[in-house]
Structure 1
Amino acid sequence: MKGLKTIAVIFTAALAMTALQSCDNDNEYIYTGAYPNAMVTVKKTADGGVYLQLDDKTTLLPVNMKKSPYYLDEVRAFASIRFTDDDSNGYTKAAYVQYLDSVLTKFTAPDLGTGNDEAYGNDPIDIVRDWTTVVEDGFITLRIRAPWGNSSKAHYINMLRNTNGENPYEVELRHDARGDIYGPSRDAVVAFNLKDLPDTGGKTVKLKVKWKSPAGTKTHEFDYRSRGTQPEE
């Protein structure tokens, strides 16, 4: 997976065709031409194992994985899964992982006031409404779209917190194209861990996302609830 400050282009067509190949004997992926059918959080357990979080309430024991293939403790990822009748070992369900492909997973960044443009950029970007744009498990995952003339050039994407003193659940998406502002629009997917936002205390609140699109400033509200208790590991 790329470093936390860069985001690599994920082409829509390639998204359904690229499978993660196992680099060791701990995970057995069998690519069967399956398309991703879920967005999950890949999580490490205290004893070095792994499980998947499917949504706010559903956890999965991946029967063909012994450990996480990622260095971060939690990574959002596209997955193709099929449920099995295996013992779920305390998790909600057992599942066989046919496909796994991580997306860039970051933490939110602090608001710097007048220094935001210099630190985070202010280039136009859009959020695409599809099944990959979702708020769950304490993360906001977004499919984004922006002019991206040089597909090998890294763009910088950040989500700023504490941007509105009257609403702690208002955040702002920022895009620094590093001068790469011309050419065809391309899609990418990025996820942000919302753990630095105030705990909602078990309630569902409106998470307001603000961003600068090519057509001007836009906002959208998502239902958000702080992460609940996870299964014992």
Structure 2
Amino acid sequence: MKSSSFFYKTLITATAIISSIGLQSCLDDDDNNNYYYNRYPKALVTVKSSIDETFFLQLDDSTTLLPVNLSASPYGDKEVRALVNYEEVDKPSGIYNKAIQINWIDSILTKSIAPDLGDDNDKVYGTDPVEIVKDWVTIAEDGYLTLRFRTLWGGNRKPHFVNLLLGQDPENPYEVEFRHHAYGDIYGEKADALVAFKLDGLPDTKGKTVKLKLKWQSFNGEKSVEFDYCTRRSVNPQSSAITTVRSNFKMK
């Protein structure tokens, strides 16, 4: 799956979409509406499996979705963040909030917080700049920090290395730092990618909502932003496994 490149692919295919409008004229209005509606993600979710191996989606901190047209997760027993296009259907959902039909689902690179390597952090995790994009997919929810970020992508075939580190402020345990290592691939054009980090390395907020501070090195120096964050509640027992899923923009 290649969700991290979705926004970039949308831009570069815009001309083709416009050119194809004439070819779509033979379709009725409903067909046209469905065609364009189904192209775009409707939600950002966490793909999970319950203790009885039921495949479901976590829409937000309290809403669960039961896919009725897929009997198993396309990612096996791995838990990942994903973009999804779906429709609600009038079918039994059991213990889940809503029954849905998935039109398509596209996984996002999903990682844990990286270990602190001390003096080797810069060497291993890099200090190459990015911009964090203010967008509906840049959010802290369901125990994850999902980020849409913008940086330079060139012709270097070596994957960019992106990570989240715990902050160094002893008075703020809810501070994290985004790191990017481009391995010299810094002379191309700016484009966007998505990545999600599981925040189980942070202290339990015990049901309270706190401010999660994210720091990063931008093209104009160090920046930071705060998110509302609450430790993930256990909605249903699920697998704790995490997978890293590559995008068209090579990342690891």
TM-score interval for Structure 1 and Structure 2 normalised by the shorter chain: 0.7 to 0.9
Letter in 1 for 2:134: R
Alpha-carbon spacing, 1:162–1:218, altered in 2? closer, same or farther (3 Å): closer
Q: Which has the larger share of strand?
A: 1
- Find the aligned partners of 2:92 and 2:131 in 1 and give their Cα distance: 43
Do the aligned partners of 1:51 and 1:60 also contact (CA within 8 Å) in 2? yes
Do the aligned partners of 2:160 and 2:182 also contact (CA within 8 Å) in 1? yes
**RMSD in angstroms over aligned alpha carbons?**
2.2
Question: Which residue of structure 1 aligns with residue 147 of structure 2?
Answer: 142
Q: How far did residue 95 of structure 1 move?
A: 1.0
TM-score, normalising length: structure 1 = 0.85
Letter in 2 for 1:225: C
1:12 aligned to 2:7?
yes
For residues 181-214 of structure 1, the C-alpha deviation after alignment (integer angstroms, 9 at most, x for no partner) is 1110111000000011111000000000000000
Question: Which residue of structure 2 aligns with residue 124 of structure 1?
Answer: 129
For residues 119-161 of structure 1, the C-alpha deviation after alignment (integer angstroms, 9 at most, x for no partner) is 1011011111111111110001000110111274410000001
1:94 paired residue among 95, 99, 103? 99
1:198 aligned to 2:216?
no
TM-score, normalising length: structure 2 = 0.79
Percent identity (aligned): 52
Look at both structures and tell me which one has the larger radius of gyration over its CA atoms.
Answer: 2
Listed as ranges, the gaps of 5+ residues in structure 1 are: 3-7, 18-30
Q: Which has the larger share of helix?
A: 2
Listed as ranges, the gaps of 5+ residues in structure 2 are: 14-33, 239-252
- Find the aligned partners of 1:162 and 1:214 in 2 and give their Cα distance: 20
- Find the aligned partners of 1:67 and 1:199 in 2 and give their Cα distance: 31
2:110 paired residue among 105, 110, 115? 105
Question: What is the DSSP-based 3-state SS (H/G/I as helix, E as strand, rest coil) of the residue aligned with 1:201?
Answer: coil
Q: How far did residue 112 of structure 1 move?
A: 2.4
Runs of 4+ in 1 over 3 A off after TM superposition: none
Listed as ranges, the matches of 1:160-179 within 5 Å are: 160-179=165-184
Q: How far did residue 67 of structure 1 move?
A: 1.0
Do the aligned partners of 1:144 and 1:188 also contact (CA within 8 Å) in 2? yes
Question: What is the DSSP-based 3-state SS (H/G/I as helix, E as strand, rest coil) of the residue aligned with 1:10?
Answer: helix
